[in-house]
Amino acid sequence: MGLLNGPANANNGAAAIGISGLTFEQNKHVQMMEEVLKITHDLIDVQKPATLGQVTPKEFLEMQHTNSIVIDIRREAEWIETGIIKGAKTITAFTNNGQFHADFQEQFFALINNPDTPNTPILLYCRTGNRSGMLGNALIEQVGLKNVFHLTDGIVGWKKLGHKTISYASN
């Protein structure tokens, strides 16, 4: 028997939630409830705000192999001192006195705006995770980016766990 002319079965939804022997009207009510739940679930997913991803060095390495864009947001003196993570792009986000660097926006958006890969994860890191955390939150909350992550303990945590860096060579 079909959906409209018989008892609940594996094809009509009611049995899927463990109800059998329903009348036609009861079955229709169950189906409507299932549809409301599906729509509600979809709306919750859509309305869920993006948040900055917090990643460990291990997770960072795994994500790095998925065509992510890795950006070291420190200053040149810091890159020279500690080296950088292999594959990272270097774009200074903040000046020595903590101000937003004048060139950051232009360089950053030139790097990430690729119409072929609009959802490419962006992995940020700094010295200890403070600046990349602030910047990552701003990119999500003010710019509307959704796929942004940061290395929670920065390059300090990276090196403390024995992960390698490469020497910085200025462009």
**pLDDT for 94:** 96
Helix (H, G, I), strand (E, B) or coil at 7: coil
Mean pLDDT (whole number) for 38-46: 59
Please tell me whether residue 70 adopts helix, strand or coil conformation: strand
pLDDT of res. 171: 63
The 3-class SS string of 101-125 reads CCCHHHHHHHHHCCCCCCCCCEEEE
Which residue in the block uniquely carries the two structure tokens 């001192």?
81
Judged by DSSP in three states, 150 sits in strand
By three-state DSSP, how is residue 73 classified?
A: coil
Supply the mean pLDDT for the chain: 83
**pLDDT score for 50:** 85
Report the alpha-carbon distance of residue 143 to residue 147 in Å, rounded.
Answer: 12
The reply to whether CATH 3.40.190.10 applies to domain 53-160 is no
Q: Where in the chain is the domain with CATH 3.40.250.10?
A: 53-160
Strands 89-90 and 69-72 come out as parallel
Decide: 128 and 34 in contact? Cβ < 8 Å: no
pLDDT in tens, 57-66: 999 999 988 8
The torsion angles phi and psi of 93, rounded to 5 degrees, stand at -95, -35
pLDDT in tens, 91-133: 999 999 999 999 999 999 999 987 777 789 999 999 999 999 9
Burial class, 76, CB count within 10 angstroms (exposed 0-12 / middle 13-18 / buried 19+): exposed
pLDDT at 157: 96
